[in-house]
Structure 1
Amino acid sequence: MAEKSWLTDVPQLDRETLLSIRQTLDEAYRGFSRAYGETIESWFDPILAFLVWFEKLLLATPWWLVILILAGISHFAARSWRLTIGVVISFILIGYFGMWENTMQTLSIITVCTLLAIALGIPTGIAMARSDRVQTIVTPILDVMQTMPAFVYLIPVVMLLGIGKIPGLIAVVIYAIPPVIRLTNLGIRLVDKEVLEAADAYGVTPTQRLFNIQLPLAMPNIMAGVNQTIMMALAMVVIASMIGVKGLGQPVLKSITNQYFTLGLFNGLAIVALAIVFDRVSQAYAKRSQQHIGSRQ
């Protein structure tokens, strides 16, 4: 006689009760989406307008001027001719292989997502660093955001807002924002206590201490968080293409469904090129800022 499995001893809801709970929650969320979906979507109209304008600007600007601007930004941030030349060569190859339009669309949404993540993430990280209670509340939320499978983000967003740029942007920001929050909090908390005590002895205000001492000293950690946020946003591009976000992710998705190896490889390499450019430039800028702070001290 077969032994009774220990799993049968685990208390479980019966199938009908579990199905009833799922249906109730699904209907409640559908009702919420029907009642408030349009109102919530209207909140994002300014961001959508800026995203569409920025995308059109990149597509309308001559390719050589875009490359020149990107090279200038890279050289200003890194002060490295080798990196600047690498940026120029990367974007010339992207254009040469016919991926310029998709790359500009990806660049636009990654830029907007990164700016939005920084605008929301750094103040949240500051609040966590200044209050243990806020850190206790926010940390579990960040844990859920970082461990939840990326595809799960798409379900409530699509149910609420449908298909388009804004749902994709929201999903990318939710997926990519935790590193900048965590590292901003960590960087401020790691500031030397003796430096803060000396500042207090000179009678600086909390605002002056934050902006003149804590944030500058925490800048390497904050820039590392921005770097990781950009990397995670780029990783989300292919998944976001499933809900209508145009760019390099859509050809990759098409290559998966139709088994086009070369199409997927080239567009995947373009995403890698963008990731390397963003990574090297942000790291070089963080290193320069740290050296500048060290020289001031």
Structure 2
Amino acid sequence: MASESWLTEFPKMSREGLLAIRKSLDATYRDFSREYGESIEAIFDPLLTFLIWFEKLLLNTPWPLIIIAITALAYFASRSWKLSLGVVVSFLLIGYFGMWEDTMRTLSIITVCTMLSIALGIPVGIMMARSDRVQSTVTPMLDIMQTMPAFVYLIPVVMLLGIGRIPGVIAVVIYAIPPVIRLTNLGIRLVDREVLEAATSYGASPTQRLMGVQLPLAMPTIMAGINQTIMMSLAMVVIASMIGVKGLGQPVLKSITNQYFTLGLFNGLAIVALAIIFDRVSQAYAKRTQKHMEGTDHG
């Protein structure tokens, strides 16, 4: 009888214990966000200022100049006239279907998020490649970031910073940064030991080996990580629109809630067009850098 009562009481006790833990954690985080929310928000003010400036720059610049600039960047990276023509056609269609402003907003936030991910991710990847201890510490964090549903970490970010661009940027960066960290680490670790030994024998310091040998040889792998980061940033556009990030995600969200099929389809295709352009350009640049490195090796 005693064992039966224990069996029936245990789930109730565990539920009560879990509820008490959840309540205390919620209260602690709520107090923390009320006390330090404004201070933390102030840290991100320069980023917000830059993001607003960059968005206004894209929106206020005449569309032919934007298309010329993006096409020039695409050609410089890929040396492909076909890809450059595809960029021109894609952006002309985006403008023709009235999605220019939303595309520029999306382009601004994706560019900023990618720049942030690269600026934070590559140094972390380098530290992981240089230290097994750092790798063993960071890898589980990357696993959590990649497997945790985006909606879950939107909650604490929104509680702390409210809705708007900065919470959107933080959410996108958390979701998109793991590939560039992992592939920077992998690329540096895959550099041939004999090449490093040769550089050391010529008197190269650890910094010279990193900048002159490891990073250039790892660049194709790092570029693959940057490519994946861009793709994941674009994948977050619709989810980020739920917390007030303007761009192509908002019409898609609106089409879901109001059942406007064509609105969602056209804006979705605009996101796909951006994804294909970024993907092709970054892949072409990675192939060019690889060929250049192979040519240097043979030379």
Query: So what's the TM-score if we normalise by structure 1?
Result: 0.96
How far 1:224 sits from its partner (Å)? 0.3
Decide whether aligned partners of structure 1 residues 23 and 73 sit closer, same or farther in structure 2, where only a CA change above 3 A counts. same
**Any idea what the Cα deviations from partners look like across 1:126-176, whole Å, max 9, x if unmatched?**
000000110010000000000000111210000000011000000000000
* Mapping 1:12-31, distance limit 5 Å: 13-31=13-31
Q: Distance in 2 between matches of 1:203 and 1:10?
A: 67
> What is the deviation of 1:114?
0.2
Q: Which runs of no fewer than 5 residues in structure 1 stay unpaired?
A: none
Cα pair distance change 1:201/1:19, threshold 3 Å: same
Task: Flag the 1:192–1:11 CA change in 2: closer, same or farther, 3 A.
Answer: farther
2:97 maps to a residue whose letter is F
Distance (Å, rounded) in 2 between the aligned partners of 1:8 and 1:177? 46
Aligned match of 1:175: 175
In structure 1, the residue matched to 2:111 is 111
**What CA distance in whole angstroms lies between the structure 1 residues aligned with 2:99 and 2:93?**
9
What is the one-letter code of the residue matched to 1:168?
G
1:262 paired with 2:259, answer no
Give per-residue Cα distances to partners, 1:39-98, cap 9 Å, x unaligned.
001111111111000000000000111000000000000000000000000000000000
**Aligned residue for 2:132?**
132
Q: Which residue of the partner structure matches residue 187 of structure 2?
A: 187
Pick closer, same or farther for the CA change 1:93–1:19 going to 2, 3 Å: same
Distance 1:52 1:12 in 2: 51
Q: Which amino acid aligns with 2:237?
A: V
1:101 matched residue in structure 2: 101
Q: Does 1:123 align with 2:123?
A: yes
Cα distance in structure 2, aligned partners of 1:194 and 1:13: 61
Deviation sequence 1:210-260 (CA, Å, 0-9, x none) = 000000000000000000000000000000000000000000000000000
Corresponding position: 1:150 with 2:161: no
Equivalences for 1:1-297 in 2 at 5 Å?
13-297=13-297
Q: Which moved more, 1:149-158 or 1:119-128?
A: 149-158
CA spacing shift, 1:284–1:8, aligned 2, 3 Å: farther
Tell me how many residue pairs correspond in the alignment.
292
The 3 A distance-change label for structure 1 pair 63 and 13 is farther
SS of the residue aligned with 1:14? helix
Post-superposition Cα deviations, 1:238-297, rounded to whole Å, max 9, x if no partner, equal 000000000000000000000000000000000000000000000000000111111111
One-letter amino acid matched to 2:148: M
Quote the Cα distance in structure 2 between the aligned partners of 1:296 and 1:283: 20
User: Secondary structure at 1:39's aligned position in 2?
Assistant: helix
* Counterpart Cα distance in 2 of 1:93 and 1:293: 37
The two structures have a TM-score, normalised by structure 2, of 0.95
Runs of 4+ in 1 over 4 A off after TM superposition: 7-13
Alpha-carbon distance in 1 for matches of 2:139, 2:14: 34
| SS of aligned partner of 2:98 | coil
3-state SS of the aligned residue for 2:23? helix
Sort the Cα spacing of 1:203 and 1:109 in 2 relative to 1 into closer, same or farther, 3 A.
same
SS in 1 for 2:204: coil
The residue matched to 1:163 in structure 2 has which SS? coil
| 1:15 shift after superposition | 2.2
Q: Residues 141 and 13 (structure 1 numbering): CA distance in 2 closer, same or farther, change over 3 Å? A: farther
State the Cα distance separating 1:209 from its structure 2 match: 0.1
